[in-house]
Structure 1
């Protein structure tokens, strides 16, 4: 019995120590943040009500602005190319991508699409010149566009056919990732699949079947992939919400002890240390995804990892941005 009590106390102390590492950097702005990006000590964030936030001192101080003419729009994703340059994405029709090269003082429209079916979900860049944006089906094809000039212009490319009730989620801007210079995408809804290009498509052994279920986020560390999702209308449901692939998406396994519910974003510090977040909190693994430990019950939508500093930046409701520093390798 004594040994059991000591083990319980150790677990409680460990959980408490982990939660203390989650530091709130800013909160209170009237925006639900889903876009987060970092370049060295400069942090950018984007969200609802047309807000973009920027910090040049690793989060100690912040400047918040509503982009003129877009005060009612929802910037669901942001891609940071350097401390001065970023792109933000307006999701619904008319869909826009805006770019700034002067610290967010001015923004230029670099993409516009007024198709009533248009709904953008995520952006990702392979380097400062080449990037992709994906969106929900248009004429039964998943929407994909590419830039090769740093986001100054975008060209639609053929997308794979969508299944009935299949789409992408714009919960965190992370259902698209560049792995080995190629885009990987995960869909959700009635059907949940992974797309490695337009020809290699695999059904995911993840929760699916309704419009609120399926994959929300994919991240890569070499050949190791993790996919997070679930049901955002039942955020405490824990079954079949996270997948691990050790072979680049050819096969999948589920964790032994998974996160505590629906997760909208996942990201790696290293091969073993990963972090994931959702509507009911934040979890971390130190063993490659097999076992997850709660580090916070606060809701967050998205994650960006600054690997040189081993720091995760999380963005969520109420203009909240937090950082979490890990000592894991």
Structure 2
């Protein structure tokens, strides 16, 4: 073996060791809640939200969490959370009634900033363009997808009139599975995905059919990850058949004009997907966690532990996961 060959094999071994080193580190568990809301401000500040009115916050990188039950909302399921710093965060309660709450004191007190008591109201997810402008999406009301916007950091919200809202097909809705079925690109572009009997990508004025499993209430796209204006990854499946890999992931590099399917798909139904870099992604669901090192073409399972949501720090490298029985974990990578 000459020097060049030796160097090649050494580098290959190092890369293999780095890949195998990826693992999930358990951090905390509040067993009275199932977590689907996760917002990672930076490597140290992490907020989570879930069922039974529970909200958790860590300011030390997950070493410890402070858990609180939001006063007056002990039975509310907070499916999404958006945090801006150690003191400021917004949570959405999905229904009966649908509410949005905001805290500016680290979760000690919460103020109702939006409420809708109409039958059928169901909020799914929330996303912000910046610290002032954001949007929340909800299941269709009277055949129109519910949208509300804020321009003051979530202090007030204004619902988009039904006459201006996008129309949904019968049986088409959204899954409040991880707070990631709506995303933003830059300062103005909003995109979101639907599932159920029909699964589509809504981008500007386009409604693009997705080559993902659909046709039943339990099928369709669950989560959307965006790298840039053209590069997206979408995961989902059938949560009543969680082990199935059939049409559970699609990719696009041209903003939905064409779609690619993975050579090796994620290992089952997946409720959340996140870009870690242009080539590296992570996805999770109730049957485990997968990573891809090649832009989503091939996925490798790194844990059989189920999680609902995974998010990367807005400012930093840390990656956190959360799921059932109050589980919060961190990706070691």
Global fold match (TM > 0.5): yes
- Matched pairs, number: 315
TM-score with structure 1 setting the length: 0.92
1:51 alignment partner, one of 50, 54, 59: 54
Say what the alpha-carbon RMSD is for the aligned residues.
1.8
> Residues of 2 paired with 1:251 and 1:34: CA distance?
30
1:201-280 equivalence runs, <5 A: 201-222=207-228, 223-280=230-287
1:66 to 53, 66, 69: 69
Structure 2 stretches of 5 or more lacking a match? 1-11
CA distance in 1, matches of 2:317, 2:265: 22
Instruction: Give CA-to-partner distance per residue, 1:67-119, whole Å, 9 cap, x none.
Output: 01001110000011222100000001310000000100100000000010100
Contact 1:19–1:295 (CA under 8 A) maintained in structure 2: no
Of 150, 167, 171, the residue aligned with 1:165 is 171
**How big is each residue's C-alpha offset from its partner over 1:217-240, in whole Å with a ceiling of 9 and x where there is no partner?**
001011210000000110011011
The alignment partner of 1:318 has SS state of helix
Q: Which residue of 1 aligns with 2:4?
A: none
**2-side partners of 1:263 and 1:302: how far apart?**
9
The SS at the match of 2:74 is: coil
Question: Where does 1:13-92 land on structure 2 (aligned, <5 Å)?
Answer: 18=20, 21-40=23-42, 41-92=44-95
For CA contacts below 8 A with separation 6 or more, give which structure has more relative contact order. Answer: 2
Change (3 A) 1:15 1:156: farther
In structure 1, how many angstroms separate the alpha carbons of the residues matched to 2:83 and 2:256? Answer: 27
| Larger deviation, residues 20-29 vs 269-278 | 20-29
Q: Which residue pairs with 2:7 in the alignment? A: none
Distance 1:152 1:307 in 2: 21
Q: Give, in whole Å, the separation in 2 of the partners of 1:117 and 1:308.
A: 37
Unaligned residue ranges in structure 1 (runs of 5+): 1-9
Asked if the contact 1:19–1:296 (Cα under 8 Å) also holds between the matched residues in 2, the reply is no
How far did 1:309 drift?
4.0
Measured after TM superposition, the shift of residue 245 of structure 1 is 0.6
